[in-house]
Chain A
Amino acid sequence: MNAPYFESFSLGVYLTLAVVIGFFFGFFLERAGFSSARKLTGQFYFRDWSVLKVMFTAIVTAMLGLGYLSALGWIDMSLVYIPPTYVWPQLLGGLLLGTGFIMGGYCPGTSVVAAVVGRLDALFFLAGIVAGGVVFGLLYPAVEEFYVSGSLGTLTLPEWLDLNVGIVILAVVAMAVGAFWVAEKSEGEWDLFAKTYGKSTGEGNE
């Protein structure tokens, strides 16, 4: 039988697997050092490029895996959830989340990890998430129109750019490798914006 397998699980198995997958998610986030707001925000001060490196490595790994499996016909991609595209709300959402990230030092997932290893500020971030959810829920009737604006359905990059999937995958990998190169250089010899933000030596890596 082909992946994905969720339809064949009983509810108990499904939810247990959810916890197990979450376990590894949380474990690797913590191991990457993402329970530290200083490390996470170090990305935006060009001091510690871990956020970009971890994220792109993970995306590339999963993307290559999915591409490989679907090329072999072992996974039915039509059953895999692909988030629908809503250009404007997603653009605004990204800007808001980025602002929240640099203000609060976390994103929702990493704040959970930071909170369980004892970061008090992460607890406040979590409280903020709950409050923000409530605020959004209350504002929802007013922003509903915007919320569904720019809808393009489930649109993938290959469809959007009208390119072969393989080429897009290659391009993403190339972009990731390029980004890694910039990251290594930036952490090493370049030390971008040292004048504005201070020398990067050692600070974010603590």
Chain B
Amino acid sequence: MATETAKFPEIPEKPVPLSPQQAEAMAQKQIKKHHVAIILLHWFNATVWFLEVATGAALISSPEFRFAPEWYIRMVETLFGTRSNLLHFHIAVGLAWIFVFAIYGTFGFRTYLLRQVYRKEIALDRDDIRWLMVRALRLLGRSDEPLPPQSNYNAGQKLFALAVYSLVPVIMITGLMMTFHWGSPEWIRAAIVAHFTAVGLIVSGLMVHVYMAAVFPEEKPAFFSMFTGKVNELFAYRHHFKWWREYKLEELKWRRKLELAWARTNGEAGAGATATGDEMATSEERNTTFTEPTEPLASAQERPAAERGSWLRRALRSPNDWPPYAAGFGLGLTLLASFILMGEGLGASSAFVRWTAALLGAVAPEQAAASPFWGRYLGEGQSPLVNFVVFEVIGVMIGGFVSGWLGGRLKVMVEKGPRISNRRRYALAFTGGMLSAIGARFARGCTSGQALSGGAVLAAGSWIFMMAVFAAGFAGAYLLRRDWT
């Protein structure tokens, strides 16, 4: 390494502060981190883990040993029909997993298991130990010391890998023992306990792994590299300096070789060394040159369509929101009309349940009909879709679209607070949707069906519900203030 440092002085040995231009240029450049085979293997493994843990937890049903609560076990059983289907599924997925990794281990023994896995994923060096200490202190807010440079997996990932590589064979072997009844009952008993222990330990680590990857802000590029195979150079520099350095050295070595070869063919041997320095400088310049974004000029000479014509036309074409009292009055009349004509108020959330019920009824009719929840919707003697709310929500779609279209408010965009990323917004929206659907089912209606419709007929439960919605909203608003303000 020392000779290489002398040969390539432009690559620092230790992380050095970057200028904003350098950082910007590095942030733009993507470098390859994972081979596509590794990405596929990772997601195969992730899927297997998800399925196996989900089914395995339901397979242990003994009240003495089970880990999952009874409702979960019952839920998974319902999903699979019978427990024996569940076990066969668990075994089939497990065998596929063992098969794939057996191939990987056999054919990639030297390349992957010895070189990649042992040296890069498991073996901890001094920097790694220090990294673990600093990382822990930083998480506790007790230190702001910079983290020691890391190779292409950081020490936390290495520790997890170590645990995984030692426990996975245990899981596989004990699984095979139970599947094929290898050994006496004593051995089988030991096997099932070992199986459970190994999985339990890995799962607790897996939670950190998933959390770090999907939630922890600093590791987001690493998460995306598991899809694209690439990370930006800045992330590599900041989080995996040693690996970045190796990568750069390799890159430069190749470049020099090429330049030497090029020079030789042109009969100018020896000119390569100085050329490289210049080339580095120019490439840096090239990377830091920006083009200024030009503001589009507003051509607001003509009065927009929204400001012409009668008051009704203006109101319909206005891109602005109506005064809340006006919109509320219109909504109130609609609600009243619904009560008068249909005998019930407006709704929204139950439409989704009915769509789901219809879908499940089409896909798995027996199981859906047997379910105490969906069975109710399927047992009405007609399709669950023949319902007021289902058709009303179709109307809502049309009405909303027409209003947006008239007001020129149709626009594909993401609504979010100024400080958060789209991805976080999507995740929050999805989670929020789930919570509100579950809440709506418990309450037997959502803001439309309970608060609005039930509120208007003065149903006691609806007012309880409404107060709870506002209470939770105001409380949650404080916790999520960074997402919306």
Q: Is chain B in direct contact with chain A in the complex (CB below 8 A)? A: yes
Residues on A close to B: CB < 8 A?
3-7, 11, 14-33, 35-39, 41, 43-45, 49-50, 53-63, 65-66, 69, 75, 77, 79-87, 89-114, 116-122, 124-144, 146-147, 152, 154-160, 165, 168-169, 172, 180, 196-198, 205
In the docked arrangement, what's the CA distance between A93 and B334, Å? 25
Q: Which single residue of chain B is at the shortest CB-CB distance from A132?
A: B437
* CB-defined A-B contacts under 8 Å, sample of 5: A60-B332, A109-B346, A117-B410, A128-B435, A139-B75
- B446's partner among A36, A103, A109, A146 (CB-CB below 8 A) is A109
Please determine whether A26 and B442 come into contact, CB atoms closer than 8 angstroms: no
Please determine whether A98 and B468 come into contact, CB atoms closer than 8 angstroms: yes
Please determine whether A59 and B452 come into contact, CB atoms closer than 8 angstroms: yes
In the docked arrangement, what's the CA distance between A37 and B436, Å? 14
- B464's partner among A14, A39, A90, A121 (CB-CB below 8 A) is A90
Please determine whether A100 and B433 come into contact, CB atoms closer than 8 angstroms: yes
Which residues in A have their C-beta under 8 angstroms from that of B411? 117-118
Please determine whether B340 and A69 come into contact, CB atoms closer than 8 angstroms: yes
Q: Identify the interface centre among A84, A124, A205: most chain B CB within 10 Å of its CB.
A: A124
- Mask, B122-152, CB within 8 Å of A = 1, is 0000000000000000000000000000000
- Mask, B432-454, CB within 8 Å of A = 1, is 11111111111111111111111
Q: Which single residue of chain A is at the shortest CB-CB distance from B412?
A: A118
Known: A139-B71, A160-B460. Is A128-B413 also a contact (CB below 8 A)? no
Please determine whether B442 and A62 come into contact, CB atoms closer than 8 angstroms: no
Q: Is B345 an interface residue (CB 8 A)?
A: yes
In the docked arrangement, what's the CA distance between A197 and B417, Å? 12
Residues on B close to A: CB < 8 A?
69-72, 74-75, 78-79, 321-322, 324-325, 327-346, 348-349, 352-353, 355-356, 360, 371-374, 386, 388-404, 407, 409-417, 422, 425-478, 480-481, 484-485
In the docked arrangement, what's the CA distance between A133 and B373, Å? 10
Please determine whether A109 and B459 come into contact, CB atoms closer than 8 angstroms: no
Which residues in B have their C-beta under 8 angstroms from that of A30? 399-400, 403-404, 407, 409
Please determine whether A23 and B399 come into contact, CB atoms closer than 8 angstroms: yes
In the docked arrangement, what's the CA distance between A206 and B457, Å? 34
Please determine whether A98 and B426 come into contact, CB atoms closer than 8 angstroms: no
Number of A-B residue pairs, CB cutoff 8 Å, is 559
Please determine whether A24 and B459 come into contact, CB atoms closer than 8 angstroms: no
Please determine whether B341 and A4 come into contact, CB atoms closer than 8 angstroms: yes
Which residues in A have their C-beta under 8 angstroms from that of B78? 138, 141
Q: Identify the interface centre among A33, A102, A112: most chain B CB within 10 Å of its CB.
A: A102
Which residues in A have their C-beta under 8 angstroms from that of B398? 19, 22-23, 26
Please determine whether B392 and A25 come into contact, CB atoms closer than 8 angstroms: yes
CB distance from A103 to the nearest CB of B (A): 4
Known: A108-B447, A172-B458. Is A75-B339 also a contact (CB below 8 A)? yes
CB distance from B124 to the nearest CB of A (A): 39
CB distance from B73 to the nearest CB of A (A): 10
Please determine whether B437 and A28 come into contact, CB atoms closer than 8 angstroms: no
Known: A62-B335, A117-B404, A129-B433. Is A96-B340 also a contact (CB below 8 A)? no
Please determine whether B330 and A125 come into contact, CB atoms closer than 8 angstroms: no
Which residues in A have their C-beta under 8 angstroms from that of B352? 108, 126, 129-130, 133
Q: Which single residue of chain B is at the shortest CB-CB distance from A92?
A: B442
Known: A24-B334, A32-B328, A141-B75. Is A98-B471 also a contact (CB below 8 A)? yes
- B459's partner among A49, A83, A198 (CB-CB below 8 A) is A83
Please determine whether B321 and A39 come into contact, CB atoms closer than 8 angstroms: yes
Q: Which single residue of chain A is at the shortest CB-CB distance from B434?
A: A132
- A6's partner among B343, B443, B476 (CB-CB below 8 A) is B343
Q: Which single residue of chain A is at the shortest CB-CB distance from B76?
A: A138
In the docked arrangement, what's the CA distance between A92 and B340, Å? 31
In the docked arrangement, what's the CA distance between A114 and B264, Å? 65
A-B contact sample (12 more), CB < 8 A, given A29-B399, A93-B440, A119-B414: A4-B342, A15-B391, A25-B334, A29-B396, A31-B322, A54-B331, A59-B332, A66-B336, A81-B343, A96-B442, A109-B447, A124-B426
Known: A4-B342, A137-B371. Is A59-B456 also a contact (CB below 8 A)? yes
Please determine whether A121 and B426 come into contact, CB atoms closer than 8 angstroms: yes
- A152's partner among B409, B446, B447, B460 (CB-CB below 8 A) is B460
- A11's partner among B386, B453, B459, B478 (CB-CB below 8 A) is B386
CB distance from A204 to the nearest CB of B (A): 9
Which residues in A have their C-beta under 8 angstroms from that of B480? 102-103
In the docked arrangement, what's the CA distance between A101 and B371, Å? 28
Which residues in A have their C-beta under 8 angstroms from that of B402? 23, 27
Known: A55-B452, A94-B468, A95-B471. Is A135-B434 also a contact (CB below 8 A)? yes
Please determine whether A140 and B473 come into contact, CB atoms closer than 8 angstroms: no
Please determine whether A62 and B374 come into contact, CB atoms closer than 8 angstroms: no
In the docked arrangement, what's the CA distance between A204 and B403, Å? 20
CB distance from B378 to the nearest CB of A (A): 11
CB distance from B251 to the nearest CB of A (A): 38
Which residues in A have their C-beta under 8 angstroms from that of B330? 24, 27-28, 31
Please determine whether B333 and A133 come into contact, CB atoms closer than 8 angstroms: no
Please determine whether B332 and A97 come into contact, CB atoms closer than 8 angstroms: no
Please determine whether B341 and A133 come into contact, CB atoms closer than 8 angstroms: no
Please determine whether B448 and A108 come into contact, CB atoms closer than 8 angstroms: yes
Q: Which single residue of chain A is at the shortest CB-CB distance from B472?
A: A98
Q: Which single residue of chain A is at the shortest CB-CB distance from B465?
A: A94
Please determine whether A33 and B321 come into contact, CB atoms closer than 8 angstroms: yes
Which residues in A have their C-beta under 8 angstroms from that of B355? 130
Please determine whether B396 and A28 come into contact, CB atoms closer than 8 angstroms: no
Known: A3-B341, A96-B439. Is A19-B481 also a contact (CB below 8 A)? no
